[in-house]
Chain A
Amino acid sequence: MSHAHRPRAIDGQAPDVFSRDDTVPMRQFADTDEVDFAIVGTGCGGGVLAAKLAEAGFSVVAFDAGAFWRPLSDFASDEREQEKLYWLDPRISDGADPLEFGSNNSGRSVGGSSVHFQMVALRFRPEWFAARSRLGYAIDWPVDWREMWRYYDEVERACAISGPLTYPWGPDRGRYPYRAHEVNAAGQVLARGAEALGVDWAPTPLATVSAPRGKSPPCVYRGMCKIGCSTNAKQSVLVTYIPRALDAGAEIRDLAMVTRIATDRQGRATGVEYHRDGQSRFQKARNVVCAGYSIETPRLLLNSANARQPTGLANSSDTVGRYLMVHLNDAIWSVMDDEIRWYKGPPSMACCEHWNYIDDHPDKDFDGGYAFMSQGPLPTDYARTLVTNSGVFGHELRRKMALYNRMAGLKMVGETMPCADNRVTLAEETDAFGVPRAHVTYAHDDNDRRMRRHARAFMAQMLEAAGGRDLLETSSTAHLMGGCRMGADPETSVTDSDGRTWDVPNLWVCDGSLMPTGGGVNPSMTIMANAARIADRIKTLCASGTSERAHG
């Protein structure tokens, strides 16, 4: 059975992700047990936090609306089948530039979107953590970059990132645990273009191993990474932190949709209401952590409004759902003379962060930065890109798809500005559980448009320098950041730097929605590093007995 319709983590057993059909023992808690932490979401935020808190001796139940997959037997080499990994529940999307939701900005699995991410493991530029004070735009993070960089180290080790020995940009980052993979032909197009233009390039640090790692065999370059790795070479949260959490005594509740956070008269969280296997249930908890990412975390907080907090939990600042960000994901595609076969290997094996590390250049007419990477879309994905962007169809589409093996592409990950009006609210329409659907409003600003123009021109120049012809431009967005940002000021942020909400002392947020700015790199490593940091902060607060401190 490829689709998991019934929970698998039951009866004291959880799926063994390294097997085809085995299980491993799992500690279980009763709904009436008041657990230390109920964590909603098991991705880069919740998964990391669950493992580290359980390892520190806390009792932890982590909920996920998605299924608990065994990649070896559940994942097919089929784009359509693997849509089961995405959050495809309808959302209402509007604004001047409505966002499209699905493959590249959502996940619905134990392990979250890391199960289908492209494994790009980049770090924020240090200055971005102080974007306002050092670069003059957006807002500062309430965290020092050196602290974040220590946690990048930690999560990169935990995920055995395969990266280059020398990285051309930013401060020295030590040695990646595994060596970089051989750059595929699609990546070499970027490399040749970069050398022709005289800018640096690097093999992309990737979360897939280049040599055996325990039960993970080295990557065999099947190229299906984006629809779920079926060999376990990919070091997703599902195969790294989730097994760690299980070993440490955390319970993972798969196919468990949390619909509401309950609070007592004092306004403190008391547990979560959730649906699982056709039943409505309530889990008692001393602390609740939202880790459902930038749409579902705000949705849950807004839907948990009570008499004392009528506009939503932890929303006295009216910041919940606001400052939602995406990444510009525009791309340039071109026909090459040589056969490229870009589907071979991880999709983005070479990257260029040139414009992330340049501040004063006469050509740079935008704030923030962007990286771009070589591309390797699977056939359906690429056909969809062609159809939606250029409207080609019939014979013309067939002709363009016949060039599939000779195509190369460069795609940007461009920072957008945090803007209060880009936000998540609740729609009137409700889902199957009776929870109002998320209503997402989004508009790009002029800075986004200037950056997009700049990136398109630069990527086109590089592709041409590498020998590309018949260039095609496409537009898209990827990733989500913000929506429940952390900050130093309770008036303009939802949580403090520890991820604890200003309004409810035992309610926390730990996912990408905390990010005050988006940066010009894929966010997964930053979300994981931040979660690892928050876990240590929670341990410190509890050890010093201040976790119960009311504040705000």
Chain B
Amino acid sequence: MRPSARNTRNRDTRSAALGIGALAILGGAAILMQRRTQPKPRPKPRRKLRRSAAIMGASMLVDSAMEHFRGGFHNKAMLAAPVLAAASTLGATARAPHMLPVHATSVAVGAAGLGFHGYNIAKRPGGFNWDNLFYAAPIGAPGGLAVTGLLALASDAHTARHGRMLAGFTALATLAETAEVALLHFRGAWHNPAMYLPVTIPPIAAALLLEQALHPNPKTRGAARGAQRLMAAMGVVGTGFHIYGVSRQMGGWHNWRQNAFDGPPVSAPSSFIALALSGKAALDLMEGAP
């Protein structure tokens, strides 16, 4: 084929096709395995929730540490986010006792962070306009820390009613995360068609989960579970896309010291894995699993 002089005519369809193919294989395998492993005992919801909190916490730790470091920690309060994300992650991973105050602080600091970020947006010229929503402190990000704390606290859940509450909460957290992704992928002008995936799959997963929370229905629970698995697979593939995205910055990974900050956040897509685990834990609880 004659080499082309021009820039690519279309969006980055080749990488998108590759990624969507990977997602189909990975997500398909995850859903098929779910059927096959049905008779085997599942991991306990408690373990799933702890894992969920740990993954969400690790994602928050990396993201807030990098972004606040980039901001030079010019406000000392910016240290709180990575410190608490680290504490909650460790607490959830190590199954340390008496962690309630730590996780509760994470929830409180995450909620307070929403105020800080809101203030950062509002104080810029133009206030709450698109440009500031794109480039000022990310409006929803501190919510991730609060979700980490809440997931860790929820690991004591053990009744079907708890399961319904957790399903509702996870569905809402998934929708909030989707909104943040939509904002940032819109900022990126959807330059890769695969950028539409995380605003398509999660709302479906959230809707199925919300349905279970409001009207528990064993017949459609399998679909809800499949959607969670697909969303988890999307988190894996999304991480791959973000690694690829960094490589598309000027200088690629050779210039990681700048591009890891300026490119798409590599740690971000894994939060969908955490939410999927939490969703599955909720469904387990509703099914009366041990």
Mutual binders A and B: yes
Q: Which residues of A contact B (CB under 8 A)?
A: 14, 16-18, 24-26, 164-166, 177-180, 182-183, 188, 191-192, 194-195, 201, 203, 210-218, 220, 231, 233, 239-240, 242-244, 246-247
B37 interfacial by beta-carbon distance below 8 Å: no
A69 and B226 alpha carbons, distance in the complex (Å): 54
Interface core residue of B8, B125, B249 (most chain A CB under 10 Å): B125
The segment out of B51-59, B86-94, B187-195 that lies at the interface is B187-195
Whether the Cβ atoms of A179 and B186 lie closer than 8 Å is yes
Whether the Cβ atoms of A177 and B7 lie closer than 8 Å is no
Identify A247's interface contact among B6, B188, B258, CB under 8 A: B6
Whether the Cβ atoms of A211 and B188 lie closer than 8 Å is yes
Question: Given that A182-B135, A220-B250, A243-B5 are contacting pairs, would A212 and B191 also be in contact in the complex, using a CB cutoff of 8 Å?
Answer: yes
The interface residues of chain A lying within 8 Å CB-to-CB of B156 are: none
Question: Interface on chain A toward B: helix, strand, loop, or mixed SS?
Answer: loop
Question: Given that A182-B134, A233-B250 are contacting pairs, would A216 and B189 also be in contact in the complex, using a CB cutoff of 8 Å?
Answer: no
Shortest distance from the beta carbon of B126 to any chain A beta carbon, whole Å: 6
Q: Which residues of B contact A (CB under 8 A)?
A: 2-9, 12, 124-126, 130-131, 134-135, 186-189, 191-192, 245, 248-250, 258, 262
Whether the Cβ atoms of A215 and B7 lie closer than 8 Å is yes
Whether the Cβ atoms of B7 and A191 lie closer than 8 Å is no
Identify A188's interface contact among B3, B125, B134, B258, CB under 8 A: B125
Residue of B with least CB distance to A222:
B250
A192 and B7 alpha carbons, distance in the complex (Å): 38
Identify A214's interface contact among B8, B130, B187, CB under 8 A: B8
Whether the Cβ atoms of B2 and A25 lie closer than 8 Å is yes
Whether the Cβ atoms of A14 and B5 lie closer than 8 Å is yes
A123 and B55 alpha carbons, distance in the complex (Å): 48
Question: Given that A179-B187, A179-B189 are contacting pairs, would A247 and B124 also be in contact in the complex, using a CB cutoff of 8 Å?
Answer: no
The interface residues of chain B lying within 8 Å CB-to-CB of A16 are: 3, 5
Whether the Cβ atoms of B125 and A24 lie closer than 8 Å is no
The interface residues of chain B lying within 8 Å CB-to-CB of A239 are: 7
Shortest distance from the beta carbon of B189 to any chain A beta carbon, whole Å: 5
A-B contact pairs, 5 of them (CB 8 A): A180-B131, A183-B125, A212-B192, A212-B248, A246-B6
The interface residues of chain A lying within 8 Å CB-to-CB of B262 are: 218, 220
Q: A188-B125, A191-B126, A210-B189 are in contact. List 13 more A-B contacts (CB 8 A).
A: A14-B5, A18-B7, A24-B5, A164-B130, A165-B130, A178-B191, A180-B134, A183-B131, A192-B125, A214-B7, A214-B9, A233-B250, A243-B5
Residue of B with least CB distance to A16:
B5
A218 and B189 alpha carbons, distance in the complex (Å): 12
Residue of A with least CB distance to B125:
A191
The interface residues of chain A lying within 8 Å CB-to-CB of B8 are: 213-215
A201 and B124 alpha carbons, distance in the complex (Å): 13
Top 5 closest pairs, chain A to chain B, by CB: A214-B8, A191-B125, A182-B135, A243-B5, A243-B6
Whether the Cβ atoms of A177 and B250 lie closer than 8 Å is no
Shortest distance from the beta carbon of B246 to any chain A beta carbon, whole Å: 11
The interface residues of chain A lying within 8 Å CB-to-CB of B250 are: 217-218, 220, 231, 233
Shortest distance from the beta carbon of B242 to any chain A beta carbon, whole Å: 12
Question: Given that A179-B186, A179-B187 are contacting pairs, would A217 and B249 also be in contact in the complex, using a CB cutoff of 8 Å?
Answer: yes
The interface residues of chain B lying within 8 Å CB-to-CB of A247 are: 4-6
Whether the Cβ atoms of A246 and B191 lie closer than 8 Å is no
A182 and B9 alpha carbons, distance in the complex (Å): 26
Shortest distance from the beta carbon of B162 to any chain A beta carbon, whole Å: 42
